[in-house]
Structures are given as structure tokens and as C-alpha cells.
Structure 1
Amino acid sequence: MNDTSTQQLNHALLCLCAAELVMMINTTAFNVALPDITESFGSNMAEQQWVVSIYNLVFAAVVLLAGFLGDRLGHLKTMLAGLGLFVVASVIGLTAGNVPVLLVSRAIMGAGAGVVIPMGQALLGILFRGPELSRAMTTWAIAGTLGVPFGPLVGGALTASLGWRGIFGFDGLVFLAVIMVIRANVPQASAAHKSQSLHMPWLSVAMMFAGFTLFSAGLVNAQHGVLAVNAWIPMLVGAVMIAGFVLHDRMSYNPLMELGLMKDSSFAACAPALMMLNFSMYGIIFIMPAYLETVLRHDALVGGMLLTPLVIASIVGAQINDWIVARMNSRGASLLSLGCLAAGMLMIGVAMWWPSEIAKQSTVLIGQIVAGFGLGAGQPAMLTWAMGRVPIEQSGAGSSLLTVFRQFGSIIGVGIFGSIQSGLYVAGFHHFAQSAGLNPQSAGSVTLDFQQTAGFTGVTGEWIRQVASRAYESAMIGSFAVAAAIIIVTLGIVALISRKIMQ
């Protein structure tokens, strides 16, 4: 590789990382704006979950289709189309006057993300091989790691200064700039494979989308009770449809996904590990803003800034990824990452036990650092471990399959965290209200309960705010404990699948 080609590849890497950065900022910036959106539209917890979940749902439904098209039409063209969807969605979101229109905008953004992430990873897997792939994936991971927790900081600043609509205006301008930069600097790394059929497997697409939609709807409805009919029936039917999609696609002559890649132990081990990264990340980002902004009574900007320990620790983890892999191999680094995520979750949950506010916030800080380190160290190790085993001609399919697992992690992260948090919060609110001699009904979320105190005079309003705060903190204990348990179980599964792998 001569100096010119090296320089061109470095420019391409920076441009792809820029797309990843701004897209991940977009993904999580809305979480910190949820309290303001709630206030604007009077949305309940279920609607808040859908604002986040619709993005992840459509993302998961589109990602396999993106890999299918990318391997046939070209990865760069497909990626640029995905970036264009963000621009369209930004215009719709900027003018949204109610929750349904906002959901349409977020759904289109989810479709764009479902195209951009797998195509970016596929281009990296084609442009870089061998040791250079590890460097590229680490840089890519740092960009994504920066974007995810840095999103609340950007979102907080925009929300505090321009309102939540400012995020859409920011997105529209930034994504237009990213499209122009990528078109000028990223080469068309692969031609479309003419030998592969362009016939769209519409039945597979429909079954997958319906399955994810029903499963997500059940998770959102589970906030009113896991045993509720409108919770377990959609989840059960959704799970059956997803299983049916897998079986149908496996027997199809024109499959939407390449399940044969799962025969490789490294690839198979990375799939659930990456799922837990998104599960943890989206769970934390979904639960923490209401705690930092409503319970602790900070504005959106300060709330975003209080998540910076997660950002810094993630960057540090990604930066020393190569050092960790050199000493523990990819398998060891991935297991270490999952262990850190579980420990960080437990620390944040345990922090809510402490009566001292100093001890509580110190433990939350440590929990963010430990979890952030796991996020940063895990992503490049896992992606390099998996994508290094994928043939170039299947780069789009391999990247898309991994991304499906990651997005399923996002869906269950928001769904499980949101449902457990909501259920425990309402129960805790009633318990603490009765203990305090009060009899107000919870509006279903801590933000709405704080808003309803405006109708009370004297000390009653402050008492209700204290009850709501105690209930939310108590619910966080259960939410983060369940999350830690799920991660620990997954760690055991990953260790079992990869037990014979030495490197």
C-alpha cells in the first residue's frame, strides 16, 4: 500500500467515523429531551418508550434488508441513501405537532440508522484487513462510543437553548454535511455482485418486521404488568413470528440473512455479547435522564453533563482495547467487558440504597465509569473478532446480522428497563404516599408526577415530589439489578460458546 492509498483510506476512515459519530449522537440525544417532550405533549411512560423504541424497532427491521441490498447494489450507495433518510426525518420532526408525527420522524431515522451502521461496518471490513482492520474498528468504536453518551450532552445543550426541536434542526444540517463529505472521500469499495439475486424476499421482511413490532409492543405494555393480556400475548406471538422468520429464511433459496455465519464460534459468541452492549447502553441512557433532571432537579444541559463519566470511561476503554486484547485475546477482552457492564449496573442500583447523598452520587459515578469502560473496551474487540471471520463478499450480510443482535439488545434494553422501572415506580409511589399520609394517584411517570404538583398548595406539593423521587430511586434498584443478572447470564453463554477458542 503506497502513501497515496494510505492517505485515501485514512480520509475514508475519518469520514465513516464522522457518520457514525453524528448518527449515535442523534440516537441518544433524544433521551435527555424526553422530559421536555413529555411536558410539551403530556406523554405518558408508554409514549416515551415508543419515542425511543420505534427508532430501534425500525432499525432492527431494516438492517438485514440493508445488508441484502448493500451486497448487491453497492455498500456506499446504500449508505448514502440511509443518510438521506435522516435529512427527511429531521424536516418532519422539526414540524411535529403531536406524538404520532414525532413517532413517524423517529421511525424514518431508525430506518436510516439501520442502513448506515451495517454499511459503515461492511465498508471497513472491505477497505481494511488484517491488523489494519483492528485499528479501523477501534477508531470506529471510539466514534460510536463518543456519540452514544455524548449525545445527551449535545441534546441537553440544544434542548436548553433551542428546545427539543433544536435537535431536529441540528440533525438536518449535520447529516447534509456528512453526505457531501462521504461522497467526496469514501471510495466505492465493492461493486454490486451481479451473480446474486435482486429479488426481494418480501415474506421474510414482513415476518421479521411483524415479529419485532409485536414483541416490542408487548414489552412496552408490560409496564402495566407482565401477566397482562396485552403484554404477554404480543410478546409470545412476536417471538413465534421471529422464530418462523428464522426457519423460513434458513430454507429460502434467496435468504435475507446469512445464518451460516453463526456456525463460526467466534461470530456466534460475539452476537449475544454485542447485544448486551446495546442492552446496557440504551437502558442506562433511558433511565438516567429522568433521575438526573427530574429527581435531582437539574436542567437538560447539566443532566447531560452528569453522564460525561460514561463518555470518558468509554473513550479510555476503546483507546486501550489493543493493549487488553494483546494480553487477554479477543475472547478475554469481550468477557471482561461484560463483567464490567454487570458490575457497573449493580453499582448504580446499589447507590440508591445509600441515605447519604454524597455516597449515593459517588457510587453512581463509579458505576458509570465501570460500565463505560466495559462499553468502550468491548465494542472494538467484539467487532474485530467477528468481522475478521467474515468473507469479503458477505461483509454486508455479516455486519447486518451482528447489527440485528445489537438492535434487539436496544429494544429489550428500553423495553425491560422501561417496563420494570415503570411498574416498580407506580407501586413504590403508592407505598410511599400512603406512608406519608397522602393519597394522590401517580400519573405514571416521575416527570408527570412532578408536573401535577403544580395543582397543590403549601407543603403538599413538596411532599409529593419527595414521594416521587423516593419511588423512582427505589425502582432503579430493581431495574439495574435485573439488568446485571441478564448480563451475567449472557456472559456465561458467551464463555460457553467460545470455550474452545484460543484467539
Structure 2
Amino acid sequence: MRTWGPLAAVSLGTFMLLLDVTIVIVALPDMAASLGSTFSGLQWVIDVYALVLAALLLGAGAAADQLGRRRAYLAGTGLFALASLACGLASSTGALVAARAVQGLGAAAMFATTLSLLGAAYQGRRRSVALGVWGAVSGAAAALGPVLGGVLTQSFGWRWIFFVNLPVAAVAMALTLRAVRPDGPRRGGRVDWAGTVAFALAAGAATYGVVRAGEQGWASARTLATFALALAALVVFVLVERRVAAPLIDLRLLRGRSFVTVLVAACAFNAAAFAVLPYTSIWLQTLLGMSPVRAGLALLPLAGTSFVIAALAGRLLHGAPARFVVGGGMVLIGAGTLAQGVLGAASSWTALLPGLVVAGLGVGLVSPGLAGAALASVPPRDAGMAGGAVNTARQLGYALGVAVFGTVATSAIGGSLHDKDAAHALAGGAAGALRGAFSQEALRTAFASGLNAAAWVAGAVGVLAGLAVLAWVRTPEPGPAGGEAARDGGARQVPGRVADEVPAPSGVSGA
């Protein structure tokens, strides 16, 4: 217990928080029927967790450094458990969304401390083993999320996808108290709360604006006002980061073209690979009549393929140029997502299979390579900041992708049905209620057109991000990023190559 107890405690919590990104996907139709959710309500059930996790991750890491990482991990796990209970007891969509937001807060405190806890507990070969196990557990969470969500939803009801977190959190906290060494004296310094709030407001307003655009139009006064608020908050964030003593991210790092490109690729990664899947799950269940378990299994080829490829890539591609691994992987993700946009009224789930497998190949390459590409682009002393920024970009990409592709899908469905309200109802899982007004073929044709449009946009995002990585990610550049890294000597160890770091989770989150 003393040797591997910290690994068990951290891995269990990581598995739980990453599982909750994907476990809700196949439960969406049941949630909609139980709570009377609208399409935008379902979007927020998915989005708010990833959005809060992304918005608070950097701030939570800084706060944990000040307050103590073990304390932060325990507090985050406890808050996550309480929020999971509230999710399971929610009687309305609004209550569920609010509880999911609190879940994201707890998850941010947990995820921001996991690697630092492992780094403090293990050295040498044991550290390499611990980080490898952590990466494998993270990938398994993403792979098992839709399947486990389907089993729980079909066997006990959708509320149990949240109730199951309670015993897992209790065990994780007990292991942490027993096996993880208590924190030392608290460090001095101040947390950049102003920057954290400004970034959270910018990310939240941008996502809200996209969701509202799907209902009211991109040119509506409310949509434009929301985007203006997001832009103003982003400007405030930049101004704050330029002035605080301990910023969430050193803006000088953004002068490095390679690092900026890696951040864009991280955002595009989760969007292109995963943000269409919630709508695919609704199509599988409400139009094809698949059970939650079968719908989860239908999505497994992507996660399963990525898990296998990530394990192989870590061994076979160590030392390969990061721009080829990440860039080539993003192109594969884009191509695989484009290949999913081939649905028609008579299509079955097997039409998705080739695209899911190709996208899974790309995910398996990109997820281990992103961290190394980011670390190779910044000075060694900024490695923690770079890793946090990449994880933030991934979660933000997923949240924005769900919003954008949902808007694209409903617009295409509305064009097919010539009825905007019916389009939102169909996308929200209410196909059964529409069968009196529309034929089954019309509904299947409309939903297929929506999924195709979303897949085409997502696939284009993936391909363009991959081409950008291939063109612009290089060895560390002169200046505040690459030049300092080279002078510090650290960059010479991994100059533009896949670093010998723990693979980022191969699923939706990776955080």
C-alpha cells in the first residue's frame, strides 16, 4: 500500500473525472425524456462540465500550489462526489446543469494536482511506471465511458451514471488519506483570481453565444452582445496577465509560433475527434432504435483503436518529429471524421465504422504527442504552465465543438424539414413525438443531413489543424520560448520531438 497507494488513489480519481466527460453521451435521450430537456439544455449538460474544467484548470493548479496539493485533491474529490449526488437527484435540466458545473469545479481541483502528486511520490523507474499506468487509466476512462454509461442507463436509469461516482470517490479519498503524504508548509504568493474569472467569463460567454446562435441566429442582437462580452472578457484577461506577478500563462510564450500552433491543435483535437459523438449517439438511439448499451458499443471502435495505437506509438515513435506525429494524426482525425459524413435515410451504424477507426488511429497518435510537442516549444521552467495550457485548450475545444457542431447540425436538419422548431426537437431526441407530423424516412433523412454537415465541418477543422502543425511546428525558435529553452539546455533533449512524458488521455478529455 505504501509503495503503490498514491498511484491507486490518483488513478482512481482521474478515471472518475475523465469518465464523466464521456459517460453522459449515451444517456442523453433518457435524460431528455425524463427531464423534458430542450436541445440547448442537452448541449449544456455536456458542455458545462468540460467548460468549467477548462476555465478553472490553470487557476486550480496555482491555488493547489499555494494551499497544498493533497488538500486540493481531497477537497476536489469531495466536491465532485457531492455534485455527482446532486446530478443524480436533479429534477430539472437547470438543476442538472448547475450540478454539472460544480462537478467541473471539483474535477479541476483534482486534475490540476494529479501529476504533481505522482511526481512527488515516485522517482526514477517507479515514476516512469506510475506515469505510464496513469496514462493508460486515463485512456481507459474515455474508452469505457460510453459503454459503462450505456450499461448503467439501460440497467438502472440515467441517474446512476452519477450515483456510481459516490463509492469511487469515497475509496479514492480513503486511499489518499492513507497513502499520500500530507502537504508541507503552505507556500506564499497570490493566486491570479482576476485572470481566472476573466478567462472563465470569456470561455463561457463564447460558448453561450454559439448555443444561442443556433436558436436565435448569428446576427441576433442577443447573440452579438454575448460575443461582444466574450471579446471584452478576453481583452481583460490579456491585460491582467500582462500585469500580475504570477500569471496563469506567461503571454511571452505566445510569441512562439510552434507553441501557439500546438495550442490550436489541442483545441481542434478534442473538437474534431469527439464533439460530434453526442449527436451521433442521439441518432443511434432515437432514429435507429438502438439501446444505450448498443449505442455505446457502436462508438467503441474510435476509443478502442486510439487506446491501442497510443500504447504502440509511445514505444515505436519515441524520438519521431512531433510535427509529423501530431500533424499526421490530426489529418487522420479530420479524414476519419469526414468519412463519417456519409449517412442517408437507410444508413445503419456500420456506415460510421471506417471513419471511427481512421479517427481512432489519429487520436492514438495525437494524444501522446501533444504534451511532448508543447514541452519542446517552451523553456523547461515553463513545462507545467505549457502542460496546463494544452489540457485547458483540449477541454475548451470539446465544449466549443459541441456547441458549434450542434448549431451546424440543427441548421441542416431545419433546412431538410423546413421547420426550425421540429429540427431542435429532433436533435434533442424527440423523434418519437414528431412521427405523427413527419414520416420516418423524412426524420432519418433530416437527422442524417445534420450529422453529415457537423462531420464535414469537424473534419475540415481537423485537417486544417493538422496541416498547420505540419507547416509551423518546428524545433524551438529564438525568442522567449525556443531561445530560452535552448539556452537552458532542456530543449536539446526534446527539440521538436515527442518527449518522454506521460501520454495525455486518449479520450475526450485529456485532459
User: SS at 1:348's partner residue?
Assistant: coil
What residue number does 2:207 align with? 216
Q: Does 1:410 align with 2:398?
A: yes
Q: Percentage identity across aligned positions? A: 25
- For residues 17 and 343 of structure 2, the distance between their equivalents in structure 1, rounded to whole angstroms, comes to 32
Q: Residues 422 and 480 from structure 1, CA distance in 2 versus in 1: closer, same or farther, beyond 3 angstroms?
A: same
Q: Residues 481 and 197 from structure 1, CA distance in 2 versus in 1: closer, same or farther, beyond 3 angstroms?
A: same
Residues 145, 376 of structure 1: 8 Å contact kept = no
Residues 71, 397 of structure 1: 8 Å contact kept = no
Residues 347, 364 of structure 1: 8 Å contact kept = yes
What is the 5 A alignment of 1:12-91? Answer: 12-91=6-85
Q: Does 1:490 align with 2:490?
A: no
Q: Does 1:477 align with 2:452?
A: yes
Q: Does 1:421 align with 2:409?
A: yes
Give 1:177 deviation, angstroms: 1.4
Q: Residues 288 and 498 from structure 1, CA distance in 2 versus in 1: closer, same or farther, beyond 3 angstroms?
A: same
User: SS at 2:91's partner residue?
Assistant: coil
What residue number does 2:486 align with? none
What residue number does 1:140 align with? 134
Aligned residue among 82, 95, 106 for 2:100: 106
List gaps (5 residues or longer) in structure 2.
Answer: 476-494, 498-511
What is the 5 A alignment of 1:98-247? Answer: 98-124=92-118, 137-187=131-181, 191=184, 194=187, 196-198=188-190, 200-224=191-215, 225-247=217-239
- For residues 50 and 98 of structure 1, the distance between their equivalents in structure 2, rounded to whole angstroms, comes to 13
Aligned residue among 332, 343, 347 for 1:352: 343
Give 1:58 deviation, angstroms: 1.6
**Which amino acid letter does the alignment assign opposite residue 218 of structure 1?**
G
Residues 20, 145 of structure 2: 8 Å contact kept = yes
Give 1:307 deviation, angstroms: 1.2
Q: Which TM-score applies when normalising by structure 1?
A: 0.85
- For residues 184 and 287 of structure 2, the distance between their equivalents in structure 1, rounded to whole angstroms, comes to 53
- For residues 366 and 187 of structure 1, the distance between their equivalents in structure 2, rounded to whole angstroms, comes to 47
Give 1:43 deviation, angstroms: 1.2
What is the 5 A alignment of 1:265-414? Answer: 267-326=259-318, 328-349=320-341, 351-352=342-343, 357=347, 361-387=349-375, 397-414=385-402
What are the superposed Cα offsets for residues 115-135 of structure 1, whole Å, 9 maximum, x if unpaired?
222322344566678998776
What is the 5 A alignment of 1:433-472? Answer: 441-442=422-423, 444-453=425-434, 456=436, 463-472=438-447
- For residues 382 and 141 of structure 1, the distance between their equivalents in structure 2, rounded to whole angstroms, comes to 13
Give 1:109 deviation, angstroms: 0.7
Q: Residues 255 and 491 from structure 1, CA distance in 2 versus in 1: closer, same or farther, beyond 3 angstroms?
A: same
Give 1:444 deviation, angstroms: 2.9
List gaps (5 residues or longer) in structure 1.
Answer: 434-439
- For residues 491 and 90 of structure 1, the distance between their equivalents in structure 2, rounded to whole angstroms, comes to 37
- For residues 313 and 121 of structure 1, the distance between their equivalents in structure 2, rounded to whole angstroms, comes to 25
Give 1:339 deviation, angstroms: 1.5
Residues 49, 104 of structure 2: 8 Å contact kept = yes
Residues 146, 314 of structure 1: 8 Å contact kept = no
Give 1:16 deviation, angstroms: 2.5
The number of residue pairs the alignment matches comes to 477
User: SS at 2:53's partner residue?
Assistant: helix
Please tell me the root mean square deviation across aligned C-alpha atoms, in Å: 3.0
- For residues 139 and 425 of structure 1, the distance between their equivalents in structure 2, rounded to whole angstroms, comes to 43
Give 1:216 deviation, angstroms: 1.2
What are the superposed Cα offsets for residues 448-472 of structure 1, whole Å, 9 maximum, x if unpaired?
5423147x4xxx6xx5332222111
Give 1:410 deviation, angstroms: 1.5
Q: Residues 162 and 233 from structure 1, CA distance in 2 versus in 1: closer, same or farther, beyond 3 angstroms?
A: same
- For residues 49 and 449 of structure 1, the distance between their equivalents in structure 2, rounded to whole angstroms, comes to 15
Residues 79, 106 of structure 2: 8 Å contact kept = yes
User: SS at 1:248's partner residue?
Assistant: helix
Give 1:305 deviation, angstroms: 1.4
Q: Which TM-score applies when normalising by structure 2?
A: 0.84
**Which amino acid letter does the alignment assign opposite residue 313 of structure 1?**
T
Residues 25, 148 of structure 1: 8 Å contact kept = yes
**Which amino acid letter does the alignment assign opposite residue 433 of structure 2?**
Q
Residues 35, 447 of structure 1: 8 Å contact kept = yes
Residues 329, 365 of structure 2: 8 Å contact kept = yes
What residue number does 2:506 align with? none
